[in-house]
């Protein structure tokens, strides 16, 4: 296991344009996320599951992949990952509203269950950690088909305790698959602190049990995350097998809009965690390095406000799915034996 720490951008092969684009994604993900909570509290969307505090790690790590070529099996906090891998603010926001044209699921899944075939983002489900096996299978196919693709999956440290993780890492390591396993460790599995869900301080030490590298990285340090992922992706693509990256992040919100984290986290702890917010940290880094000027920052700020406003207005205006489509895509084809219920298929969502 290695601990990764680096200085600023130029050292790691990223241009200033890259850095600005990465900062924009972190800030955009945060702005969309904050809007989601406002919409929830305003009664516009019933449920929010948040990525606040995770965005720096997600952007830094996802940036190391080749968009439109590699694969990601994300999880429900992966807003910044999905934006980095090609989804748009409208794509994210239509998922919150569960509209007919929501590209993740056409309004079938809860918010947060993103996915996009267009962008090689595997559809998210709610049982946790199942996606590691999909990413491992994708990596297996990449190896068998010689596609030069890398598959990456993301989950929290709570999910990392599931049996599928053991089964997946073992198989990926045996076959040296082009696979990267990312754990976003925010210290809590809903309300249960890490000390009660992990027998070790670092999930990454478990990599030793599979004979693969395990890397702990400060998840509030975007560039350190990028470097860890860049190295892991290079190793995977070269045929040297999987890597476990554990990004230590913070969860700035409750588990979801149905959770009140003040019940199990002290005010002092929550106040202290604000210092680990990746957004201001990345901004200060880039300002100090002269990458972000006042002019660039204010330009980005207004662009992001406009994007969030556009996504919200757009999603609000999209129609709900029609119940007449509810039987579609159970299978590739319709079967006479798969019949509608006695109440039939309504026409027009206003009836339902």
Provide the binding-site residues for other proteins, judged by CB under 8 A: 71, 73, 102-106, 108-109, 113, 115-117, 122-123, 125-127, 130, 132-145, 147, 149, 151, 163-164, 167-168, 170-171, 174, 328-332, 335-338
254/257 Cα distance (integer angstroms): 7
| CB nearer other proteins, residue 114 or residue 282 | 114
| CB nearer other proteins, residue 266 or residue 339 | 339
Are 228 and 248 contacting, i.e. CB atoms less than 8 angstroms apart?
no
Minimal distance, residue 222 CB to other proteins, in Å? 28
From 333, 240, 250, select the one nearest 55 (Cα to Cα): 250
Minimal distance, residue 206 CB to other proteins, in Å? 16
| CB nearer other proteins, residue 216 or residue 236 | 236
Are 151 and 179 contacting, i.e. CB atoms less than 8 angstroms apart?
yes
Q: What is the distance of C-alpha 139 from the center of its chain?
A: 19
| CB nearer other proteins, residue 140 or residue 289 | 140
Environment class of 310 (CB within 10 Å of its CB; exposed 0-12, middle 13-18, buried 19+):
middle
Minimal distance, residue 233 CB to other proteins, in Å? 17
Minimal distance, residue 241 CB to other proteins, in Å? 15
Could you give the 3-state DSSP secondary structure of residue 296? Answer: helix
Minimal distance, residue 328 CB to other proteins, in Å? 7
Are 124 and 64 contacting, i.e. CB atoms less than 8 angstroms apart?
no
Distances (CA, A) of 60 to 18, 20, 64: 11, 12, 7
144/299 Cα distance (integer angstroms): 46
| CB nearer other proteins, residue 117 or residue 263 | 117
| CB nearer other proteins, residue 43 or residue 127 | 127
Minimal distance, residue 298 CB to other proteins, in Å? 38
| CB nearer other proteins, residue 40 or residue 99 | 99
Are 225 and 217 contacting, i.e. CB atoms less than 8 angstroms apart?
yes
Are 91 and 30 contacting, i.e. CB atoms less than 8 angstroms apart?
no
Minimal distance, residue 113 CB to other proteins, in Å? 7
């Amino acid at each position: 296991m290695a601990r990764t720490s680096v200085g600023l951008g130029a050292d790691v092969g990223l241009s200033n344009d890259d850095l600005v684009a990465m900062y924009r994604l972190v800030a955009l993900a945060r702005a969309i996320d904050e809007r989601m909570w406002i919409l929830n509290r305003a009664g516009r969307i019933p449920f929010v599951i948040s990525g606040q505090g995770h965005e720096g790690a997600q952007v830094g790590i996802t940036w190391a992949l080749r968009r439109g070529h590699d694969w990601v099996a994300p999880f429900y906090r992966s807003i910044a990952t999905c934006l980095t891998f090609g989804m748009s603010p409208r794509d994210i926001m239509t998922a919150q509203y569960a509209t007919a044209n929501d590209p993740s699921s056409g309004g079938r899944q809860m918010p947060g269950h993103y996915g996009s075939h267009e962008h090689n983002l595997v559809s998210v489900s709610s049982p946790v950690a199942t996606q590691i096996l999909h990413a491992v299978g994708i990596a297996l196919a990449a190896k068998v088909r010689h596609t030069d693709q890398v598959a990456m999956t993301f989950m929290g440290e709570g999910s990392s305790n599931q049996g599928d993780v053991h089964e997946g890492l073992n198989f990926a390591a045996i076959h040296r698959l082009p696979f990267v396993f990312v754990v976003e460790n925010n210290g809590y599995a809903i309300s249960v602190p890490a000390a009660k869900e992990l027998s070790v301080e670092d999930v990454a030490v478990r990599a030793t049990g599979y004979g693969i590298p395990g890397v702990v990285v400060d998840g509030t340090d975007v560039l350190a995350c990028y470097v860890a992922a860049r190295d892991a992706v290079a190793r995977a693509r070269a045929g040297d097998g999987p890597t476990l990256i554990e990004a230590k992040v913070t969860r700035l919100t409750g588990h979801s809009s149905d959770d009140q984290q003040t019940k199990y986290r002290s005010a002092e702890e929550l106040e202290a965690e604000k210092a680990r917010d990746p957004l201001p940290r990345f901004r200060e880094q880039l300002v100090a390095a002269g990458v972000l000027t006042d002019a660039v920052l204010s330009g980005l700020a207004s662009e992001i406000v406009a994007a969030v406003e556009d996504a919200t207005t757009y999603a609000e205006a999209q129609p709900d799915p029609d119940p007449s489509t509810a039987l579609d895509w159970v299978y590739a084809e319709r079967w006479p034996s798969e019949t509608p219920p006695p109440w039939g298929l309504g026409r027009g969502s206003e009836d339902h």
